[in-house]
Amino acid sequence: MFHLTDQVALVTGGAKGIGKGIVQTLCKAGAKVVIGDIDQQQGAATAQELGCAFKALDVTSREACQSVVAEVVKEFGKLDILCSNTGIFPQANLTEMTEADWDQTHNVNLKSTFFVVQAALAPMREKGYGRIVITSSITGAITGYPGWSHYGASKAGQLGFMRSAALECAREGITINAVMPGNILTEGLAEQGEAYLEEMKRSIPTHSLGKPEDIGHAVCFLASKEAGYITGQTIIVDGGQILPESPEALL
Ligand code: NAP
């Protein structure tokens, strides 16, 4: 029903993990996709595998975000869809967390969202059309996990940012929404170790981790023309992880 034929999309953190799942889904729906990622080797390999373009991008640089968006517009003529997806999730308990840990997590996860959304808004406003989808998380906005207070704050912060930003663009044909993944099996999540992955499976009603394409499908919907009357909203994609009121649901 939905298609993104001839839509131009930029996906940050698209080299692997959830970002790659988003890229894959957008490509399948007909979009021309540009991956922006700090991992140049993997970014170029993913772009080749999926038949899209790659640009080296460190989202913690405002200048880099602006110049990558400008390059996309120069090469493809417009930018219809922005997926602000980059994120890191290093663990640090509060007794050990340094100011540098806090700043790095906020810079890559939250400040980057401001940088890349601000950069994308200029060409979107010119055309009077845009779809922005932010990858947030259930962690922070709904749930908590020891060691992720800085991460949770950055992910909840993205939603606060989104709501005001959505209002600023409401009459300009531009929507800003967010997906909130639960535990999705990505390269980044795998680094948490087998014990973590098994613990998570047991805490999800489906008893399974999500796949990157599960997030891609939700993003694809929010990125479609048909979702034009939805803005400032969230879709939780978590296999029901936030639902159980009692342990029986998890047996
Ligand atoms: P991932 O597998 O680690 O992939 C993230 C990609 O972003 C990597 O290619 C990474 O490169 C890149 N990146 C890191 N720092 C960057 C920077 N400064 N500029 C540009 N690119 C950068 O992560 P993921 O699990 O797919 O997570 C993607 C997003 O989903 C994040 O926002 C995360 O918070 C969110 N999320 C994930 C889960 C989950 O279960 N996986 C759950 C909820 C929310 P390097 O590998 O070289 O660092």
Q: For residue range 65-97, list pLDDT tens digits in order.
A: 999 999 999 999 999 999 999 999 999 999 999
What mean pLDDT comes out for the span 57-63? 98
Distance 58 CA to ligand 1 centre (A): 12
Atom of ligand 1 nearest to the CA of 89: 34
Q: What is the pLDDT of residue 241?
A: 97
Separation between Cα atoms, residue 94 and residue 102, nearest integer Å:
10
How sure is the predictor about 28, in pLDDT bands with cuts at 50, 70 and 90?
very high
Distance 171 CA to ligand 1 centre (A): 31
Atom of ligand 1 nearest to the CA of 212: 26
Residues annotated catalytic, as ranges: 151
What mean pLDDT comes out for the span 2-30? 97
Q: What is the pLDDT of residue 166?
A: 98
> Does residue 105 have its Cβ closer than 6 Å to ligand 1?
no
What mean pLDDT comes out for the span 135-159? 98
Q: Whose CA is nearest to atom 22 of ligand 1?
A: 38
> Does residue 87 have its Cβ closer than 6 Å to ligand 1?
yes
What mean pLDDT comes out for the span 7-17? 98
Q: Do 176 and 169 contact (CB within 8 A), yes or no?
A: yes
Mutate to test the pocket of ligand 1, among 84, 89, 199 (most ligand atoms within 8 A of CB): 89
Distance 126 CA to ligand 1 centre (A): 30
Q: Do 133 and 178 contact (CB within 8 A), yes or no?
A: yes
> Does residue 18 have its Cβ closer than 6 Å to ligand 1?
yes
How sure is the predictor about 181, in pLDDT bands with cuts at 50, 70 and 90?
very high
Cα–Cα distances (Å) from 162 to 37, 110, 113, 168, 183, in that order, read 22, 11, 9, 10, 22
Only one residue has tokens 């922070």, namely 140
User: Who wins on pLDDT, 2 or 181?
Assistant: 181
Q: Whose CA is nearest to atom 33 of ligand 1?
A: 87
Separation between Cα atoms, residue 41 and residue 50, nearest integer Å:
14
Q: What is the pLDDT of residue 2?
A: 81
> Does residue 158 have its Cβ closer than 6 Å to ligand 1?
no
3-state secondary structure of 30: coil
Distance 13 CA to ligand 1 centre (A): 6
3-state secondary structure of 236: strand
What mean pLDDT comes out for the span 16-22? 98
Q: Is the pLDDT of residue 1 over 80?
A: no
What mean pLDDT comes out for the span 26-54? 98
For 195-238, write each residue's pLDDT tens digit. 999 999 999 999 999 999 999 999 999 999 999 999 999 999 99
Q: Do 166 and 231 contact (CB within 8 A), yes or no?
A: yes
Strand-pair category, 174-181 with 53-56: unpaired
Percent of the chain at pLDDT above 90?
99
Environment class of 32 (CB within 10 Å of its CB; exposed 0-12, middle 13-18, buried 19+):
buried
